[in-house]
Structure 1
Amino acid sequence: MKATLPILGLLTALAPGWEPPKDPVLVDPSVFVAPEGLEVTVWARSPQLFNPTNLDIDAQGRIWVAEGVNYRSHANRRPEGDRIVVLEDTNGDGQADASHTFVQEKGLVAPLGVAVFDNRVVVSQPPDLIVYTDVDRDAIFNPDVDTREVLLTGFNARNHDHSLHSVVGGPDGKWYINNGNCGSEFTDKSGKTFRIAGDYFRDGGGDWFVDNPSIAGKPSDDGNVWVGGFTARMNPDGSQVEVVGHGYRNSFENCVNSFGEVFQTDNDDPPACRTSYVLEGGCAGYFTPEGHFYGSVKRPGQEHWRNHWRQDDPGTFDAGDVYGGGSPTGIVFYENGALGPGRRGTLLAGEPARNVIFGYQPEPKGATYQLDRTDWLTSNTTGVFDGADFTGGAREVTQVEHADARLFRPSDVAVGPDGAIYVTDWFDPRVGGHGDMDESCSGAIYRIAPKNFQPKVPKIDLTTLEGAIAALRSPAVNVRWTGFAALQSRGTSALPAVLSLLEDPNPWIAARGIWLLPYLGEDGIAKCRALLTSDQVRERLVAFRALDRAGLDILEAARGLASDPSPAVRRDVALAMRDVPATTSAPILLDVAKGWDGLDKNYLESIGLGATHQENLIWPVLRDALSPGSPLQWTDAFARLTWRLWPEPAIADLKIRALSSELTQEQREFATESLSFIQAPAAADAMFDLAKDDSPVKAAAVSWLFMRGTGAWDSFHLRGRLKETGIYDPDAIVLSESIVPGKPATTKFSEEEVLKLHGDSSRGQAQAMRCTMCHHINGVGPHYGPDLRGWVGRQGVETAVHAIVDPSADIAHGFDGTAIELKDGRWIDGRIQSDGDPIVSTSTGGVTQLIPRDRVASRHSMERSLMLNADQLGLTAQDVADIVAWLGTYQ
């Protein structure tokens, strides 16, 4: 039933020329399941706001919302442009009663970020990051009084979900930005140009400004190669940009807690969404270092999610919680407020495809964090989801007036200065897939707070010391940033108040003061250095980070902490060695390496990141101390350390290990693999030697030579040698035509007929073996079609029947086909696994072919599924019912 809650408040300053929908709808708050003791209420709803993409909350408790009325195919729905709208609860009754436009421009087309820092409003609108300064502080942008500045520009792509997202203030006084894998080429106010891109280009619509292919894999002016989506921090004036993490697919938003830990959620294709801790300067793995898609380096039999985030390759950080299909959005860290002490340290992440706000309590685990997921707030406890990419785009709920619980699409989550949680809902039957369906543009803001909560927003005056401290204590992240800035500007006079803050029993609040110490005179610096010997791990961590972030000398501290009892502290010491000369950093990294357990991925990666660009100098130091003597005597841990550092001086030793009969086959093949990651012609030469007939690792060497010789080592011009050795001879390849038949004009039975039948799971198990032509089931069949394990349990019987009877109606995201026309007139239909030269395409039955580019006449996206329908598979209606019944038990 349609929710019948009253329209709250009055709508003012609506865009002229656009008629707002007269009958907005929302998901009734009574369907939500929230943590015990908390309740969900409607704080605002359309027509007070429409299609909310992002929100921020200022010191007065006003909620600022970026709207996406002109989203994607509806780019001209509101000709005057999209808005930043301000909503307010003026009488304190817990519901917004005022709504007005702060700014509206034709150039605002579904902006994905808004952030408020006192009277500076930052809007993320590719290609620009725009700062509006509300000079007269009336929350209405007036160009005659207020100012508008393009702080940075060069972000792909306008009206695209994988572009520039919101800005968040860090505890270090920096602004943090993040961008999806559309790429960017921008110059900061210090004059440094950043080139961050990959193979993703002009896909999914939108307006593109940067030529990704021309910059993919090229170093930025900081000397590093960054690829894909990324997180960066900078000074509020746009200077001194530093990349914090990269290699994302589409991290919609990042959050930075008061300990300086960055967390993000990241999108998938297909199911491999994740929530992760971002290792400083690390790569998430979606693109290779050259900017190619992860599929180009997929290993035989490798699980999809491990390939998707390249978890088996050196140079990637730990994936964290990989939860499968989804469409993650906003994220925030709750540290203090109205929810009570027991909920401090809760990470909240929006997941509209699953109708949920996930909750985590990140716990340190070695050099990373344990992320155990809960459904913190959800409207859908059935486990059956709708209208998402990972459900094939199928939409059971098409009539939005029903306000089904599966239409709850949380686009963002934030903590207000009153300590409550606020969630924006973009109400829609569809999420992801570059589209929306709800013509009413309905949106809502829900408040999650203790029952009978009476909101109280402290008044803050940043011109006073007390007001600045109050701001720093705020539960709202960008409000406390303003407190940091105000206290930093006071210098030494703020030190006594900040020192008092360090005694706060809430460790999150106390940590906020530590970040200020390096800016409060010599006494502040001395206090910060004293905390390096604290008996509290996180005090040591934050003190070290604060000194480093402030640009102070941390080498003496690093030497002392390189053997710290905490692996997290040692991790940060290693990360701080990046760009430090090897003569200085190598002994420190050696001490850190002595503490590695041989297993912790993030710990190993931190050593590799600390040695960036100096691996050839640092590795011999580590070898001489950790594993002197014959390379056959290396420990497994040192062998893995060598694998991560990819040092050229190790080439001869790795070749010896690969050929030695004294080592196990596994150790020999690992040495071969390690060689393959060394970006040097000498490594390729060694690999050709390992590919000879008498080599014990010939098969592995041939496999790596093909992958690298046509990929990362392509610049070494190895194709002639690959041909001579028979590893890859494009002229000798025999291609087989593979055409997927079109959908029949009629079918023998309907979905409705199947649904009337009783399925027999025992018969269905046998019938399901027909599906192993394309699906991997119980160890049989290729990984060509989507994984069917748990599929019916997640999506329900109706969706499963629909997919088998008419698979072309909704194609699972990531499983779309490409028809390649060869120059001899034949066709190969299949899924592109690697889009290099050769093109690697897999067709029905899991048949994979290497297609030299010079044999391709054209290529086209297929408008039908690669999967044959039930009729074409020779299935009866009863067969389908039986298969679906068995798949319901296949977990």
Structure 2
Amino acid sequence: MKKTTLSLLILLGMWACSKAPKTLPDEEYGKLTDDDKRKIEHALDGIQVADSDLELTLFASEPMMMNPTNMDIDAQGRVWICEGYNYRNKLNPKNPYNPKGDRILIMEDSDKDGKADKSQVFYQGEDINSALGISVLGNKVIVSCSPNVFLFTDENNDGKADKKEIIFTNLKGVQHDHAIHAFSFGPDGKLYFNGGNEVETLSDKNGKELTDDLGRPFSTYKQGKVFRCDIDGSNVEILGHNFRNNYEVALDSYGRMWQSDNDDDGNKGVRINYVMDYGNYGYKDEITGASWRERRTNWESEIPLRHWHLNDPGVVPNLLQTGAGSPTGMIVYEGKLLPEKYQNQVIHCDAGPNVVRSYPVTKNGAGFTATINNILDGSKRDQWFRPSDVTVAPDGSIFVADWYDPGVGGHAMGDSVRGRIYRIAPKGEAYTVPKFDFTTAEGCVEALQNANISVRYLAWTKLHSLQTQAEEALLKLWKADDSRMRARALWLLGKIKGKEAKYLQEAASDKDEDIRITAIRLSRELSINNMAMLQKLATDPSAQVRREVALAIRHKNTSDAAEIWATLANQYDGKDRWYLEALGISADNQWDSFFAAYLAKAGEKWKTEAAAKDLVWRSRSNDNIFRLAELAKNEKDNLRYFRAFDFQNNTEKTKVLLGMLDGGNAKADVMTLVFKHLEVNSAKNDPLFKSLLPKVLAGITNPADYLDLVKRYEMKDQSERLSTMAMTDSVLGGEAAKIQVKLNGIGALQQLTRSKDEAIVRKAIGVYGGVDEKPVTDFLVTLFNNNKLSLPVREQAMYAMYGWDSEEILWGLVKANKVSEEVLPIAKKILMGTWHSDIRTEAMKMFGADLDKELGDINTLAKLSGNATNGQKVFKMYCTACHLVKGEGVDFGPGLSEIGSKLSKTALYSAILNPSQGISFGYEGFKIKLKDGTETEGIVLSKTENDVNLKAIGSSTPTAIKRSTIVSMKQNEESLMPKFPLQKQEIVDLVEYLGTLKKQ
């Protein structure tokens, strides 16, 4: 190298370093006030870049733009965002509202200095308030905003929407985080999109509900869903379901789908998924719709796994679980600008822990494993960093949208005027936009290889329209070495009319397994007979390829398809759950013929070989109950087989289960499990059932099993055992008391309170007093007003008046002056923190406890320091009745063990002082009126065909309410969380303590 060249490189390097943004050292950053940390000049200081090879720059910020919910970058390198300024503001009048509606902005760096200097409003209106998705496809822009998905067209390319159409409508989730999300252009020329679990179904632009290929309405699929459609919105398919809040689906060049999913807050179950086509992802019980919290046979030992029903047959495994969080935007980065370790990997935002990460993926059988690499991290400095989306620019750099807020949505925001857009690139790499030629096939093939989806859309569309005129240029890419680029070429070559079979045959014989996979996926989209190809690939050495063959024969009702399935099933190794679930998905609606074909080949292997036993466990064939019964009776690991009975539809199921009892000579655990899985009504009429039930109950040693059976069969003769359990079981005692009262009234409680041992009396009041039923409450009143009893007993009875119905009765007594002076102070405390907002308001006025004026505004409070030790005492006094922290408390509201990692001080104050402003999804309160005139209130865990499962206020165990007994069920506008009458210092100390609850 010449000396002058070397010197020039050194000078350029020094220049690049001098232009790189400097961040403050920890010591200096720590000296900044909270107000200073929020300022734009310190935006970069608050975010740590994990990779020393990368640099972070600020592309745009307030006041140019605010609250970016979603982002896209067009072929010109312009950044488009949906603003969420009006997020929930009409529902929360404390926040400002723009009557013109929210905006779609186009931001451009016209002077090439790496920062946006131009901003243009593409569209503004109340119909796009808090839109959650934007996709820019040439002069067309798709905006996702429940109840509609809009298609805007800029007909004269002036950066303004000239035409607005509706593609889909009647979507639930208006102003809701769990609504319809962004669209992505796939390598096959189709659109992929998803919706969280507020999106119960999908209707076309005319409001007609869509159906799957068998005519089943989309509403029959549970919870959050993934969809695919043609570019004009036609031919819609469901590609996955039973997610919670799957925020954004990302695709790679082979057509594989990846996305994230949020758990019920506080359960450390956030996950990343490879979306296997048509898979069930287990948020709710597949058959009944029951919550993951409701006890079931063979449930997982850890809550993050239990959350997704991972032990159930028919649930696709998770790729990776990342703990607590609020996952948002996602891409598959197939660019070349970033270092190699990020190339071809999923890159993802999680607003909860303030991070942007990549997830390096490794193939594992028919599935994948993944690890975590942090890219950006704001958790240690600026917890207001809330990355909402990530997008690839045409130069291969990535941009991150930052909602910038003390909280993470959840129906609330603490800051309405800030928002940032960042760019991540190797150090010294200025932002440039390549020039593209979309007029020629050669230019389009070059553009097709770009990392930016908007560029690829324009290239793909032109190449597809050229058909054979593009073939020669595409062939050069097809014959190149880059597997992913070859796949992109194949999607187009295989759609050249008259050439489909030629390129499919070539690809199906390719040495690259990912190309063979792409061939199978392509063949599914083409109107040609692909059975010969699938038959050949059914014995492919790659489990990944065989997985795709299985998915390709789903709903193919032919003998060839059954034979292919049997061939695939015979290659299952007994270890690969992904492969097993692919087989299960493949056999949907034709289990009888597929499984019969397998048995014809496998014979009696299901009795002896682990892999064949797994297939029996997964099978839904009509005659499978007989094989399940044999395995459930004889296998050591029999819980999984009994659980599998819950997914069988054979009308002979009860008869087969009862046959397993051997007339009462079966093992005790087998008998217990049989009785747990019988269909109640048919079983009660069987004489064998009636004769053996007492024996089964007597032989049960597991208290949870005992309670399940007593409740299931309404065994009123179990009063004595229930009473003993209520008083001795520290975990399930409250549930036993609840069942006892429901079945037999309060006789046991009355008898226990007559004991001469005051400790027993107080224990009984504490346990049974938690049952919020009128007979119990009426009895408690006679206790706390009885001055012949000791004061500790009376106080215990008053403390037991916490509860929806109890508090209402107590308020009536206090107003009527019918509460003894000795226990009145406790009554005041209960009523000033009651669940009833109307009672709470009146009680605070009556007792002179209106403290709001003393507290000051939230921003002022956030600057104060408290005593965490004292705050923990406040938490135990007021909060453990509904929240769990590190295993202590009641599992009613969201778990708070890591709340300090998720919410800043400002957000914590807001959650405590304004609980109705940000109700966590899944924790909304419902008021249910029953035919007997009573009311109850709590959280609806699930709705099944016959029951509504309600977790009553302050309870950790659900109660099944028969739908036939319900008059009405109305969602509350206000949070179930009471607004406690805390002193200012108590609140400051409480927030200080909550801030210490962070991920270890």
TM superposition score normalised by structure 1: 0.78
1:152-551 aligned within 5 A: 152-187=168-203, 193-194=209-210, 220-221=215-216, 225-270=220-265, 271=267, 272-289=269-286, 292-295=289-292, 298-299=295-296, 302=300, 303-381=302-380, 405-440=382-417, 442-522=418-498, 525-551=501-527
Match of 1:647 in 2: 621
SS of equivalent to 1:513:
helix
Contact 1:178 1:254 in 2 (8 A): yes
Match of 1:681 in 2: 651
Match of 1:204 in 2: none
Check if 1:59 corresponds to 2:75: yes
Write the distance in 2 (CA, Å) between the matches of 1:589 and 1:858.
Answer: 48
Contact 2:168 2:207 in 1 (8 A): no
Contact 1:782 1:845 in 2 (8 A): yes
SS of equivalent to 1:177:
strand
User: Aligned pair count?
Assistant: 796
CA distances 1:488-538 after superposition (whole Å, capped 9, x unpaired): 111122122112113444432232112112123555642442232222221
- Distance of aligned partners of 1:131 and 1:758 in 2 relative to their CA distance in 1, 3 Å threshold: closer
**How many angstroms does 1:845 deviate by?**
7.6
Q: 2:676 aligns with which of 703, 707, 715?
A: 703
1:65-144 aligned within 5 A: 65-74=81-90, 77-142=97-162
Write the distance in 1 (CA, Å) between the matches of 2:270 and 2:961.
Answer: 31
Contact 1:227 1:247 in 2 (8 A): yes
More helix by share: 2
SS of equivalent to 2:675:
helix
Write the distance in 2 (CA, Å) between the matches of 1:817 and 1:243.
Answer: 31
- Distance of aligned partners of 1:70 and 1:782 in 2 relative to their CA distance in 1, 3 Å threshold: closer
Contact 2:107 2:119 in 1 (8 A): yes
SS of equivalent to 1:700:
helix
SS of equivalent to 1:501:
helix
Q: 1:614 aligns with which of 590, 598, 602?
A: 590
**Once superposed, what is the RMSD of the aligned Cα atoms?**
4.5
Write the distance in 2 (CA, Å) between the matches of 1:116 and 1:803.
Answer: 36
Match of 2:31 in 1: none
**How many angstroms does 1:378 deviate by?**
1.6
Check if 1:728 corresponds to 2:712: yes
**How many angstroms does 1:31 deviate by?**
2.7
Match of 1:666 in 2: 637
Q: Which runs of 5+ in 1 are unaligned?
A: 7-22, 197-217, 383-404, 710-715, 872-876
CA distances 1:314-338 after superposition (whole Å, capped 9, x unpaired): 2221122122222111111111142
Report the residue type matching 2:351 in the other structure: P
Match of 2:820 in 1: none
Report the residue type matching 1:636 in the other structure: A
Write the distance in 1 (CA, Å) between the matches of 2:598 and 2:664.
Answer: 34
1:747-786 aligned within 5 A: 756=867
Answer with 1 or 2: which has the greater Rg: 2
Report the residue type matching 2:566 in the other structure: L
Write the distance in 2 (CA, Å) between the matches of 1:890 and 1:28.
Answer: 24
**How many angstroms does 1:128 deviate by?**
2.5
Write the distance in 2 (CA, Å) between the matches of 1:181 and 1:334.
Answer: 27
Write the distance in 1 (CA, Å) between the matches of 2:566 and 2:325.
Answer: 41
- Distance of aligned partners of 1:549 and 1:665 in 2 relative to their CA distance in 1, 3 Å threshold: same
Contact 2:629 2:660 in 1 (8 A): yes
Q: 1:636 aligns with which of 610, 621, 628?
A: 610
SS of equivalent to 1:295:
coil
Name which of structure 1's ranges 444-453 and 681-690 shifts more when overlaid on structure 2.
Answer: 681-690
Contact 1:688 1:701 in 2 (8 A): yes
CA distances 1:841-875 after superposition (whole Å, capped 9, x unpaired): 5676856655555667887869787899999xxxx
Name which of structure 1's ranges 552-561 and 725-734 shifts more when overlaid on structure 2.
Answer: 725-734
TM superposition score normalised by structure 2: 0.70
Write the distance in 2 (CA, Å) between the matches of 1:809 and 1:59.
Answer: 39
**How many angstroms does 1:347 deviate by?**
1.1
Q: Percent identity?
A: 30
Contact 1:66 1:85 in 2 (8 A): yes
Match of 1:625 in 2: 601
CA distances 1:451-470 after superposition (whole Å, capped 9, x unpaired): 22222212223221122113
1:745-824 aligned within 5 A: 756=867
Q: Which runs of 5+ in 2 are unaligned?
A: 1-19, 22-37, 694-709, 717-738, 743-770, 774-801, 804-829, 834-843, 856-860
Match of 1:586 in 2: 562
Contact 2:407 2:903 in 1 (8 A): no
Q: 1:41 aligns with which of 53, 57, 61?
A: 57
Q: 1:562 aligns with which of 534, 538, 543?
A: 538
Write the distance in 1 (CA, Å) between the matches of 2:233 and 2:914.
Answer: 52
CA distances 1:763-791 after superposition (whole Å, capped 9, x unpaired): x9xx9999999888999998667667677
Write the distance in 2 (CA, Å) between the matches of 1:719 and 1:463.
Answer: 75
- Distance of aligned partners of 1:446 and 1:412 in 2 relative to their CA distance in 1, 3 Å threshold: same
Report the residue type matching 2:70 in the other structure: N
**How many angstroms does 1:50 deviate by?**
2.2
**How many angstroms does 1:419 deviate by?**
1.2
Write the distance in 1 (CA, Å) between the matches of 2:372 and 2:236.
Answer: 32
SS of equivalent to 1:648:
coil
Bigger relative CO (Cα 8 Å, ≥ 6 apart): 1
**How many angstroms does 1:156 deviate by?**
1.9
- Distance of aligned partners of 1:783 and 1:548 in 2 relative to their CA distance in 1, 3 Å threshold: same
Write the distance in 1 (CA, Å) between the matches of 2:655 and 2:523.
Answer: 45
SS of equivalent to 1:336:
coil
Name which of structure 1's ranges 546-555 and 77-86 shifts more when overlaid on structure 2.
Answer: 546-555
- Distance of aligned partners of 1:808 and 1:530 in 2 relative to their CA distance in 1, 3 Å threshold: closer
Write the distance in 1 (CA, Å) between the matches of 2:403 and 2:504.
Answer: 44
Write the distance in 2 (CA, Å) between the matches of 1:223 and 1:785.
Answer: 31
Contact 1:156 1:163 in 2 (8 A): yes
Contact 1:495 1:524 in 2 (8 A): no
- Distance of aligned partners of 1:88 and 1:842 in 2 relative to their CA distance in 1, 3 Å threshold: closer
**How many angstroms does 1:153 deviate by?**
2.6
CA distances 1:258-313 after superposition (whole Å, capped 9, x unpaired): 12110001122133221110001111122334572433754266433333222111
